[in-house]
Structure 1
Amino acid sequence: MRSIGLILLLCTSLDSYKILIYNSKYGHSHSNFLGSIADALVDAGHDVTSLIPVMNPKLKDGTENSKIIRIEPDQQVLDSYAKEKENYNYFELNSFNPLIAIFMGPKFPKKFEYVCRKVLDEPGLIDRLKAEHFDVYISENFDVCGTALAHAIAPKTMIGSYSSALTGQHFSEFGVPEAISYRPAAYMTSLDVHSMVDRAWNFYASLHHKYCFWFLRLSINRLMKERFGEEYPSVAEQSANVAYVLTNSEPLIEFAAPTMARVINVPGIGAKTPKPLDEYWSEVMTRRDQTILLSFGSVVKSIQLHPAVKAAIVKTISRFPSITFIWKYEEPDDEFAKEAAAKLPNLVLTKWMPQLDILAHPRLYVFITHGGMGSTQETALRGVPGIFVPIFGDQMKNAGMMEYNGFGKVFDKNNLGDADKLTATIKEVLENKKYRENAQRISKMLAKKPFSSKEQLVKYVEFAAEFGASAALRPQSVDMSFVTYHNLDVILASAACIFIFVYLICKMCSRTAVKLVALISGKTKNE
């Protein structure tokens, strides 16, 4: 028996790989995505270490089972977060405003640069990580410090990732066709491909996004060259050589667009199995036959809404006395909350709720959400119709793809103060059966997918660990300039050749015509 146990142990160790995951803690969805990847790989028997530079200390690490190397936050970053919390209202943000790109673009990288310097300054860290000889290194291409560190850490192979669908610089860096004429950019909720105006807006949205994130890449590239020398490869150069790219995109609810064989979708990798509700929430869900859940996520706060907008939402809720409304409201004991709760018996204001478990309850009929990738995927998995109120970032595109697939309606955040419009939209989603039918149909499709995200993740990471990056999966487009990628040089050369050819033909015809006229004129005179 001991020999059998020893053989099993040896087999397990032979199949176990050393994996490092760079999981910068700045956003819940990002930490949850990479943390869930780490835990799934631990469950598969691998030796996983999570390098966690802390930007926002209030967030969870995302991982529960992997080994952790934590880099404590820089004081300048903590001060920046405190200032943002005090002064920034996402409800007032206009993603299309060019002034945001012009003024905020250069400021955006500061927090990431401070944190990246903190990682580089950690005594002996880079040398220790390099000495580990990791089989696989996984990093997200948002905080690109993680990607930039790959060359210094020197793993056997690198895997890129993103906690949403690919966007902005990801297309050129990973070699994926952007298809901007029909793939909606991050800030677009819809795109009519037959409309020149819509396609122009989409083109602008793409440029706007790339401009904002260009400064981050510029800043990190400069930092790395300052630390390791001018020959150190850029973020784009290292991204071009990844073995695979893991995304949190679900093709069954996405806009169809070109992809590459090395882009592996592992949607909902962090999704948990719904649990039975406790006594309190069970009682709330059974007060009436129908319940509507309202939440703007973990970043955007309902308390930041203008008083007139809050009043409009309360007015809307009062028009549906037979429906229970659960509203995620960060200060349920403030003056507004107390007044609203006293006025509306069908309103439940709460700082927190078990969102996943509530979405799985049969009496949950509509989810009013900001459209974050996690919330949209949970909505799809549970087959719940939604009203999607995008606030910023990729929420616009996420909301648009849900409406496109018949899950519900997109609602402009600027119209939240219009009780009549909000009432009409809720009635439309509640009463039109097509939304619930579409939602439940796609929910069944997602449940019966041939391979789970966890299976996909583990198999591809193990494959990359054993064989490294394949040259066959690396598109040559990553080595091309804008001019050569779009064949502008070929088009220009061809146009020049055609122009010269036409010019010579015209010249020859002109000379021939002159000689012919002269010949005819000469004959006429002789006669």
Structure 2
Amino acid sequence: MFIPEYSASTTKFVPAKHAKIVRMNNISSRYDDDVTGGEELMMEQATLSFSLRLDFEYTLTAMCRALMARRDELEKLKNYGFDAAFAEQIDLCGIGVIRYLGIHNLFWISTTPIMDAVSYNLGIPAPPSYVPTIEENDKSDTMTFWERAHNIYMYIGSIVVHRWGSDMSTQVFREIDPSFPNLREIAANASLCFVNADEMFDFPRPIIHKNIYIGGLGVGEPKPLDQKFTGLMNKGKKGVVIVSLGTIAPFHAFSAKVKEGFVKMVRSLPDYHFILKITRDDTTTQSFFEGVTNCDFVEWLPQSDILAHPRLKLFVMHGGVNGLTEAMLRAVPVVVIPIFADQFRNGRLVENRGVGKVILKQDLAEDTIRAAVMEIVSDESYKKNAVRMSKLMREKPFSAEQRLIQWTTFAVDNGVLDVLHVQGSRMNFIVYFNLDVIAAFVAVLCLLIVIVLRLCCLLRRIFSVKKLKQQ
């Protein structure tokens, strides 16, 4: 396993014990420097603008350039003679590294549902009339006229942003080898595309043969809780509510007003005990909750195991796809407070499936939080829907582990699966969307209209002349 450390936080990452690890330490401080203060920015803006997303592409390109500047450290990887390699989808630099190492059998694996740029690069149809754009887009699969118009705008914007980023990253490799292929071309030739989503839970959408859904990968049977968490889960007359908002924008990034709203909401529900996950240095949040007796703070929690506890009534979370999948597998209703990326769309998915509610961060207040929590804990339909979803996800044919292992083995044994390549991935934007055909039809239609109008004018003149002669 090759681990290029883009951020200081990745030094804590513990990979699989059976894998041989090759780390590239201290590549650059660019990533950490650029995202510093990003927590507050994410909280201030309803969604991230295209300009900020472009800035992020520049950051990724800078990290890619810093990585390839130390390509001498990659040489030892070439000696292993790998048959295939996995790469993540958000940053195409990893795909370039794999090709630089001489590996042609590529497996793409996502951290989100199928991204729009990924579907476009692979030639996967993504009708914006009912397929909501993944990033920074608060849409479900049922949209009004103006929502569909905005969804098209977000789709095109997403393609442009990622195309710009992939072109910049491609240039990094062409500075080393001018004949290096465009990273989008390499991506289009991936043998398989593993999708981090569960098709029973996710919005139904078109896919192609190389899309393999592996949502819930690694979520095993729950383990017994230790004494500390067993004690916490036994608190609360009516049960326990977990609040965990991830690592990118943790609870302390909320404004004082929002924190006060949470405090008032917790105080107003004394029959429920709240467990709030915070960062180690977050003393501010604890001071806000001073005197609140039905809330405990933790810096870490065994999330998957706690979600299986029978006294857990609700999971308040940010809408990351992994946490959502865990919650659904454990049949736990959720309140989603989306922060960035795919989380807005995931929140609408939760409402679509009837397993929870979504509260946009700009709408956070005591009344909105309390209303969402009370609706879910008092309405049994949310729990029933979550139980059904859990059953569908657990009992569908072939587990995520089986799919990953069997398809990977098959692709390694048979080489690059070019028979699965879609012709649409080789078309330009105009041909892919039939814009040339549409333009031709419009031109012919306009020509016919002009001809008909001219004929009408001519006939009018003829009849006018005849009428004058008769008079």
Same structural fold, with TM-score higher than 0.5 when normalized by the shorter chain = yes
Q: Do structure 1's residue 237 and structure 2's residue 185 form an aligned pair?
A: yes
SS, match of residue 270 in structure 1: coil
The separation in 2 between residues aligned to 1:159 and 1:145, in whole angstroms, is 14
SS, match of residue 108 in structure 1: helix
Is contact 1:126–1:152 with CA below 8 Å preserved after alignment? no
Deviations along 1:352-384, whole A, 9 cap, x unmatched? 122111111000000000111111011101000
Q: Do structure 1's residue 247 and structure 2's residue 230 form an aligned pair?
A: no
Q: Who is 1:420 aligned against?
A: 367
The separation in 1 between residues aligned to 2:40 and 2:450, in whole angstroms, is 62
Deviations along 1:275-329, whole A, 9 cap, x unmatched? 1001111111112340000011122121222222212111110111111100112
The answer to which of 144-153 and 216-225 deviates more is 144-153
User: Following superposition of structure 1 onto structure 2, how do residues 220-369 of structure 1 map, counting pairs within 5 Å?
Assistant: 220-229=169-178, 231-288=179-236, 289-331=238-280, 334=283, 336-338=285-287, 340-341=289-290, 343-369=291-317
SS, match of residue 375 in structure 2: helix
The answer to which of 198-207 and 387-396 deviates more is 198-207
SS, match of residue 350 in structure 2: helix
Alpha-carbon shift at residue 119 of structure 1 (Å): 3.2
2:156 partner amino acid: L
User: Following superposition of structure 1 onto structure 2, how do residues 208-223 of structure 1 map, counting pairs within 5 Å?
Assistant: 208-223=157-172
The separation in 1 between residues aligned to 2:465 and 2:218, in whole angstroms, is 86
Change (3 A) 1:509 1:253: same
Alpha-carbon shift at residue 518 of structure 1 (Å): 8.2
Deviations along 1:373-400, whole A, 9 cap, x unmatched? 1110111010001111101111111111
Aligned pair partner of 2:121 in 145, 149, 173: 173
The separation in 1 between residues aligned to 2:69 and 2:467, in whole angstroms, is 90
Q: Do structure 1's residue 490 and structure 2's residue 437 form an aligned pair?
A: yes
Higher RCO (C-alpha under 8 Å, 6+ residues apart): 2
SS, match of residue 8 in structure 2: coil
The separation in 2 between residues aligned to 1:215 and 1:511, in whole angstroms, is 53
The separation in 1 between residues aligned to 2:283 and 2:445, in whole angstroms, is 74
Q: Who is 1:76 aligned against?
A: 29
Is contact 1:150–1:238 with CA below 8 Å preserved after alignment? no
The separation in 2 between residues aligned to 1:415 and 1:512, in whole angstroms, is 64
Alpha-carbon shift at residue 125 of structure 1 (Å): 4.2
Change (3 A) 1:514 1:234: same
Is contact 1:175–1:478 with CA below 8 Å preserved after alignment? yes
User: Following superposition of structure 1 onto structure 2, how do residues 28-107 of structure 1 map, counting pairs within 5 Å?
Assistant: 50-59=1-10, 60-77=13-30, 80-81=31-32, 84-86=35-37, 88-94=39-45, 96=47, 100-102=49-51, 104-107=52-55
Q: Who is 2:384 aligned against?
A: 437
The separation in 1 between residues aligned to 2:240 and 2:358, in whole angstroms, is 19
2:45 partner amino acid: N
1:373 partner amino acid: V
Question: TM-score normalized by structure 1?
Answer: 0.82
Alpha-carbon shift at residue 118 of structure 1 (Å): 3.7
Alpha-carbon shift at residue 174 of structure 1 (Å): 1.1
- CA-based RMSD: 2.7
The separation in 2 between residues aligned to 1:190 and 1:122, in whole angstroms, is 42
User: Following superposition of structure 1 onto structure 2, how do residues 433-512 of structure 1 map, counting pairs within 5 Å?
Assistant: 433-500=380-447
Aligned pair partner of 1:407 in 355, 358, 364: 355
Alpha-carbon shift at residue 115 of structure 1 (Å): 3.1
Change (3 A) 1:513 1:371: closer
The answer to which of 420-429 and 185-194 deviates more is 185-194
Change (3 A) 1:421 1:156: closer
SS, match of residue 348 in structure 1: strand
Deviations along 1:22-63, whole A, 9 cap, x unmatched? xxxxxxxxxxxxxxxxxxxxxxxxxxxx11100123231443
Q: Which has the larger radius of gyration?
A: 1
Change (3 A) 1:487 1:208: closer
1:465 partner amino acid: V
2:378 partner amino acid: E
Change (3 A) 1:504 1:215: closer
Q: Who is 1:195 aligned against?
A: 144
The separation in 2 between residues aligned to 1:188 and 1:56, in whole angstroms, is 27
The answer to which of 358-367 and 58-67 deviates more is 58-67
The separation in 2 between residues aligned to 1:362 and 1:172, in whole angstroms, is 43
The answer to which of 152-161 and 177-186 deviates more is 152-161
Alpha-carbon shift at residue 90 of structure 1 (Å): 4.8
Q: Do structure 1's residue 398 and structure 2's residue 346 form an aligned pair?
A: yes
Is contact 1:331–1:337 with CA below 8 Å preserved after alignment? no
SS, match of residue 146 in structure 1: helix
Alpha-carbon shift at residue 443 of structure 1 (Å): 0.6
* Structure 1 alignment gaps of length 5 or more: 1-49
The separation in 2 between residues aligned to 1:86 and 1:156, in whole angstroms, is 39
2:69 partner amino acid: D
SS, match of residue 275 in structure 2: strand
SS, match of residue 321 in structure 1: coil
SS, match of residue 67 in structure 1: coil
SS, match of residue 164 in structure 1: coil
Change (3 A) 1:140 1:512: same
Number of residue pairs aligned between Structure 1 and Structure 2: 467
Change (3 A) 1:392 1:272: same
Is contact 1:91–1:305 with CA below 8 Å preserved after alignment? no
Deviations along 1:64-117, whole A, 9 cap, x unmatched? 32111111122433xx515634564155242546xx322x34431344234323
Change (3 A) 1:494 1:292: same
Alpha-carbon shift at residue 154 of structure 1 (Å): 2.4
Q: Do structure 1's residue 372 and structure 2's residue 346 form an aligned pair?
A: no
Is contact 2:95–2:183 with CA below 8 Å preserved after alignment? yes
Alpha-carbon shift at residue 223 of structure 1 (Å): 0.7
Question: TM-score normalized by structure 2?
Answer: 0.91
Is contact 2:167–2:182 with CA below 8 Å preserved after alignment? no
